A and B are shown apart, each in its own frame.
Chain A
Amino acid sequence: MKLSNVFNVFLSIAVLMTVSLNGFAEGADLARIAEDIRSGEIDVGKNYSMDTKDGRFHRIHADKLLLDCEFCHGQKFYKQDYLSADKDKPYPKKAGGHLKKGSCLSCHQEGSIGFTLYKGATTNE
């Protein structure tokens, strides 16, 4: 097994543990639910939008995976030296804070539970 794969397994476990420790979906359940969403067994609709009521994005992450708002919107403010073009963009009042991009990376890099969005420097040859 490649070192990068071992790293990804540990990363996935860490994410799952973090989620379960925070009282959201159980770790193993999270991976199963993600798989069921991908296979179509769990219907999340076709409304591709960020709408928090019936948009697919929040239905997947909040309604089905039961991620608390703070899992993604955990920070009220970015650290002073955080580099993001939308750093000063005001967020909707209901959002808990700015988006923690690291949360996306943990589940959406190669070998993790989400579909691969980031190849991740750790997986490069």
Chain B
Amino acid sequence: MTKFVRVIDTVKCMGCRACVAACQVENFSDGDSQWNVMVEHEVGSYPNTSKAFVTMGCMHCEDAPCKTVCDEVGANAISKNEYGVVLIDYDKCIGCGYCAPACPYGVPKSPEKTNDSLYPTEKTSYEKIPVDDMSPLHVKQENKAQKCTFCWHRLEKAIDAGKIDRIGKDPEFTPACDVVCSVNARAFGDIDDPNSEVSKLIGEKKAAQLKKEYGTGPQVFYVLEGGDY
């Protein structure tokens, strides 16, 4: 089996937000509907203070409460595929918004307006792609839930080309946010492969899942100052 996870090293992260920008451009997400956000806060007390940076996107939980509640209302718009990626079908979404409060991480967004363009004066090269050629995950709908897809359009490309082993290694087959990190604070790959970078990081650096008390089994792991908690 192949199960994709992400590891984010908060000790290395310097808060440059390149991952946030890469996600915005790649997935046309900004304003009310950012798929990847940077949460920052001060730690310590004066004069021994520092800043901690945590980037947060969808955790692609094993037992995703967003999917549970979506199934409960009968929409069945949220699915978790065989690779562990949680995706939203915009056509099935009824826009009830229940997934937002159900998510312990505050991830799903249902913006009233989908974005016309990231920049006011010109379109990015991604925005120039004709709608028919876009991934269905990028053809968003107003008032419908949306969130990070682990850049499924890139992973899908690798799977279709029989290059699943290149995911997390080749930029074109790796989520955009993980590719651009300048301090190698992000890794993406198969947790079921004991030799993958993510497996090693989780094992050696004791990367932890956030808000474990919810028991959702998030598939994004964080290397924290002081190790697992």
Contacts and interface: CB of A to CB of B under 8 A. Distances in A.
Interface string A79-122: 01101111111000000000101001100011000011111111
Nearest to B55: A85
Nearest to B70: A48
A90 to B, nearest CB: 9
B216 A89 contact: no
A81 B43 contact: yes
Given A83-B39, A83-B105, A121 B96 contact: no
A50 interface: yes
B94 A85 contact: no
A120 B213 contact: yes
Nearest to A103: B101
A44 to B, nearest CB: 12
Most chain-A Cβ atoms within 10 A of its Cβ — which of B37, B54, B57?
A: B37
A interface, size bucket: 20 to 34
A86 B109 contact: yes
B91 to A, nearest CB: 17
A50 B96 contact: yes
A101 B69 CA distance: 15
Interface residues of B, number: 38
B65 A48 contact: no
A24 interface: no
Contacts of B98: 48, 50, 57
A120 B105 contact: no
Contacts of A80: 41-42
B102 interface: yes
B214 A99 contact: no
Nearest to A61: B101
26 contacts: A48-B94, A48-B98, A49-B95, A49-B96, A50-B96, A50-B97, A57-B98, A80-B42, A81-B43, A81-B52, A83-B56, A83-B105, A86-B100, A87-B37, A89-B106, A104-B102, A105-B104, A105-B213, A116-B68, A117-B68, A118-B104, A119-B63, A120-B214, A121-B212, A121-B215, A123-B215
Interface of B: 32, 34, 37, 39, 41-43, 52, 54, 56-57, 63, 65, 68-69, 72-73, 75, 94-98, 100-102, 104-107, 109, 210-216
Interface of A: 48-50, 57, 80-81, 83-89, 99, 101, 104-105, 109-110, 115-124
**Closest 4 A/B residue pairs (Cβ):** A86-B106, A84-B106, A119-B215, A48-B96
